[in-house]
A and B are shown apart, each in its own frame.
Chain A
Amino acid sequence: MPVVVSDAEVTLADVLSLRLAVDEPLADGAELVLRNRATSAESRVPLGRPGGRPGGGVRDAALAVSLAPLDLGPGRWDTYLQQGTSRTRLRSVDPGFSLDHLEAYALSRRTLAYRAYRTRNGFLALKIDDARPTAEVRSVWFREGRFEVTGLLAFTGLEDDEARHEARLTLHRSRPDAELSSAATVQGVRFHAALSLCDVIEAAPGQTGTWEPSLQVRGVSTPLRLGSRLDDVDGKRRRLHYPAAQIDGVPIRPCYTADDELRIEVGG
């Protein structure tokens, strides 16, 4: 029996909301099965009597599954519909998320971030990540001898309002250890920070290496790492190439790590 998900979204309250197009009404005792792709661990959710409306030949079924009580761990979870002995993997025509919704979702403080998505083969799946407070990078510039970065704070619990928060951008490197920082602007959850590139060169003269930026914001207990994870684009290191600047003949280039954290590479 073909079952196609026509709408899928994880709501702000971590409820997986689905609309299914099915040929026949779901049987009593139908279950939604979530299966971890790496460990094959399964979680079963009885669906009860789904809401919805019968349509011309095809029936709509609306489902809402609260994810937090299921105790799912981080990873990718495939979705199946179990009816009696038959198990059907859920096909999806919906991308499963919108970028604006992901931004709104990241406004709350969370421990796990859930995202529904459509796999390359056309099935519905869930991606679950640890949600640490981070500074999500939107733009990076080398302008007028400065490194500038803008973005928004994710999973910090701060309100998206006009309130200003005291903040500092810190660059840190090891071997040899060095650190420098400058004041940053945080308004609501939007941030803007800038640092002189000459200061970066002078902080470790003649040394090549990688600087790790972080943002300290008053009201947020831990320093926020700068990264770009609040979308569906993994592997930004090869997808986004930032231009390099030359300061006193030394090349400086912002780039991403394999897990999409921002770094500043000096030399080499």
Chain B
Amino acid sequence: MRICLLVPSAYGMRGDVRSIVNLAGELAERHDVEIISVRRHRERPFFPVASGVELSWVVDGRPGVRHLLPGGRMRAEVALWRRLRGLRADVIISTRPGLSVQVARHAPRGPLRIAREWGRPPVPGPIRRFYPRLDAVVTATETARQEWDRLLTGGVPVSVIPDALPAGPWPRSRMDNRIVAAGGRLVPVKAHDRLIRAFAVVAGKRPDWRLRLYGGGPEEKRLRALVGDLDLHNHVYFMGTTSDLTGEFAKASIVATTSRTEVLGMTVIEAMSSGVPVIAFDSPRGPGEFVADGRSGVLVAEGQGEIEAYASALLTLIDDERRRRTLSAGALEAATAYGASAVADRWEKLIAATSRPV
């Protein structure tokens, strides 16, 4: 079977890219798999793509590349239309509503067309109009499934398949380093400022613990200034980006996430696969979708006094090694559902069940 995965960019450093690259690598064990990246903006993908996976792009956005058409949306849309019209595949899995609408409009009717969704449905008009032409919609969480089901009102079957971790073996934390780690792009929605403020309380009481922030982004300068203002310059390390987040999480004893929403939750899943408990805010569409409070991590209520409550949860876990190890075991157990082979099996079953009789 030939499976095409259509993504906005396979070259970036995002959770959805990690998830698709992991899934493609596993599916490539049994099928012909191609990742079609609409844009290519660097020489090589940030996350290594398995050798059996074909990688192609629609628009080359690298600096210095000459183009026939003017830049912007027109170039991408015309190039994507041309590519979709001539696409030969058995299954097309498109990520993001913008691309799924284009697949519904322009891809040939032969192959199975499946939309992979993470977040809340955006502008409903084009989705209601074009999504009924697709064969299935697959969300990553149950909450997203209910939202998409409500929007599409039964026009297309909506099912849940979680994101995939890479094929094992996964690195495993010894839980003996006094390190709290956090991963994710440094952007406002990840609310790293809440984490740094909470860690200021922790550093005052447990000065030998360190916070390592993995990732980069536009918020870095502001966060560094905050670290300076709170006198945390000895405690907070800006580790930069890494293609091996699970390996870095495995050096930590706690993974902290303070996102306002965690639509993807790849960092949370990766932390659990390293056997590290996660502390997160219990926000709607947040990490609560992935973390079971008291079993694989700790969820803290949002609202007034949230920073103090988060700091207190961190301190409680820092002081209670036995609980950390119990949660670590729970996290490892929960992560098995996200193993690449388990997830690829579910995709194969869905494809078999959705296939139209010839």
Interface of A toward B, CB cutoff 8 Å: 4, 6, 91-95, 98-100, 118, 120-122, 138-141, 232-233, 238-243
Contact = CB atoms under 8 A, between A and B. Distances in A.
B46 interface: no
Given A232-B251, A243-B228, A98 B176 contact: yes
A98 B234 contact: no
B233 A99 contact: no
Nearest to A242: B233
Nearest to B275: A93
Interface in B228-244: 228, 233-234, 237-240, 242-244
B2 interface: no
A95 B171 contact: yes
B174 A243 contact: no
Contacts of A118: 171, 247, 250
6 contacts: A4-B169, A93-B250, A118-B250, A122-B169, A140-B233, A239-B238
B177 interface: yes
B233 A243 contact: yes
Interface in B141-160: none
B243 A120 contact: yes
B172 interface: yes
A140 B234 contact: yes
B267 interface: no
Interface string B250-292: 1100000000000000000000000000000000000000000
A243 B239 CA distance: 18
Contact of A99 (B171, B178, B224, B227): B178
A184 to B, nearest CB: 18
Contacts of B247: 95, 118, 120, 122
Contact of B228 (A92, A139, A241): A241
B237 A120 contact: no
Nearest to A100: B176
A120 B173 contact: no
Nearest to B168: A93
Contacts of B179: 99
B250 A95 contact: yes
Contact of B242 (A120, A242, A243): A120
B174 A95 contact: yes
Nearest to B177: A99
Contact of A233 (B171, B228, B239, B243): B239
B185 to A, nearest CB: 17
A189 B173 CA distance: 29
Nearest to A139: B234
Nearest to B207: A139
A233 B169 CA distance: 24
Given A93-B169, A118-B171, 7 more contacts: A92-B171, A95-B174, A95-B247, A98-B174, A99-B179, A240-B234, A241-B233
Contacts of A121: 48, 244
A233 B244 contact: no
B170 interface: yes
A112 to B, nearest CB: 23
Contact of A94 (B171, B233, B239, B244): B171
Interface in B52-77: none
A94 B172 contact: yes
Contacts of B176: 98, 100
Contacts of B174: 94-95, 98
- Interchain residue pairs A-B with the least CB separation, the first 5: A120-B244, A139-B234, A243-B228, A98-B176, A93-B169
Given A95-B251, A120-B244, A240 B233 contact: yes
A138 B235 CA distance: 9
Nearest to B175: A98
B51 to A, nearest CB: 13
A58 B251 CA distance: 25
A233 B177 contact: no
Nearest to B238: A239
User: Which of B170, B177, B243: most chain A Cβ within 10 A?
Assistant: B177
A138 B234 contact: yes
Contacts of A98: 174, 176-177
Given A91-B169, A94-B171, A120-B243, A240 B237 contact: yes
A140 B174 CA distance: 29
Contact of A239 (B172, B177, B240, B244): B240
A239 B210 CA distance: 13
A6 B228 CA distance: 39
Contact of B239 (A6, A140, A239): A239
B234 A241 contact: no
Contacts of B250: 93, 95, 118
Given A93-B171, A95-B251, A239 B243 contact: no
B183 to A, nearest CB: 14
A241 B171 contact: no
B337 to A, nearest CB: 19
Contacts of B251: 95, 232
Contacts of A99: 177-179
Contacts of A93: 169-172, 250
Nearest to A232: B251
B241 to A, nearest CB: 12
A159 B184 CA distance: 42
Given A94-B174, A95-B174, A120-B247, A238 B240 contact: yes
A73 B171 CA distance: 28
A116 B169 CA distance: 18
A33 B195 CA distance: 44
Nearest to B242: A120
Contacts of B224: 241
